[in-house]
Amino acid sequence: MIVGVITVVGLLVTRMPDISPLATPDQLAMPEGARPAAVTMGRDFIAVVTEDDRILIFGRDGAFRQEVAVIPGTTAGAVPNSQP
């Protein structure tokens, strides 16, 4: 039983993926007046949701890539609920 536990622990240690922290820039150049409400990170981007309903996309190097306006109260591609 001890050999089994040692084997399982050994397999877990050797088979675990390398979980290294993602590199992040020191600063992001936010547009004037934009206040962050939430931040999320993907493999090659950082997304900042602002309090004025915008999503700002930055590269891992901190360079601005794209801005997406969010229209409150709408859901793109939503199917209306036909049940009463």
What are the structural domains of the chain? Answer: 26-72 (2.40.10.360)
Q: Which has the closest alpha carbon to 39: 61, 31, 28, 70?
A: 28
In the predicted structure, residue 80 carries a pLDDT above the cut 70: no
pLDDT value of position 68: 92
Q: What is the pTM of this model?
A: 0.61
- The rounded distance, in Å, linking the Cα atoms of 39 and 50 is 9
Please report the pLDDT score of residue 15 as a whole number. 74
Give CA torsion, residues 73, 75, 81, 82, to 10 deg: 100
∠ Cα 41 31 38 (to 5°): 35
The answer to whether residues 56 and 67 touch, using CB atoms and an 8 Å cutoff, is: yes
